[in-house]
Amino acid sequence: MGYELYLRRRDPEASLPDPSALASSLKDAGAMGAEGALSFACGGARVGAKLAWHDGTLQGVDLDVPFGAPEADFRAAVLLGARLGAKHSLALNDPQLGGELTPERAEDAVAAWRTANSYAVNTAGVIEDARSASVWTPPPQGLKPRTKLMLYALGGLAVAYLIFGWLLEFLLKAPLPPID
């Protein structure tokens, strides 16, 4: 989750970008990773980049700047998006501003970034390791040993209760009268 920017055609009637040329430009600009999950090193942050498809047609590129990254990294991501947009005649859009991100609106985008980043980090408690500094290990799967021990003990008690109940019923049962 992060601050989103996307590259799309300025004119809906304009030709769509060539997928191989766009993917090649992403790789030339330093994108690393698989085709569907590319990422750039903008400053120290890892900015996600993926080709946006709709009904099998390439629409453009989606960029995702992680929350928690410094402002300089956001500016680097905007510069990267602007370069890619200029190369392929695409508009760099900022959905938080509601339109195309032009050089005149760059400071508005930075202010929106500050606000969204501050909310995500300070209020919502959402922060990503923007610089990939720490290694995340998933929590262990399954039950804790103490919980397993308690479940085994409860199961043993349940089995013992059933066995003793059956034995007592069998031993204390009155014999049936003989059939004449």
Over residues 13-65, the pLDDT tens digits come to 777 777 788 778 878 877 777 666 677 776 667 788 888 888 888 888 888 88
Domain 2-123 falls in which CATH fold?
Cell Division Protein Zipa; Chain: A, (3.30.1400)
Predicted confidence at residue 153, as pLDDT, reads: 98
Predicted confidence at residue 150, as pLDDT, reads: 96
- Higher model confidence: residue 137 or residue 83? 83
Q: Which residues pair with 94 in a beta bridge?
A: 99
Domain definitions of the chain by residue range: 2-123
Strand order in the sheet with 45-54: 32-34, 37-42, 45-54, 57-66, 2-9, 90-94, 99-100
Q: Could you give the CA distance from residue 55 to residue 157 in angstroms, rounded to a whole number? A: 59
Predicted confidence at residue 146, as pLDDT, reads: 93
Confidence of residue 72 (pLDDT cuts 50, 70, 90): confident
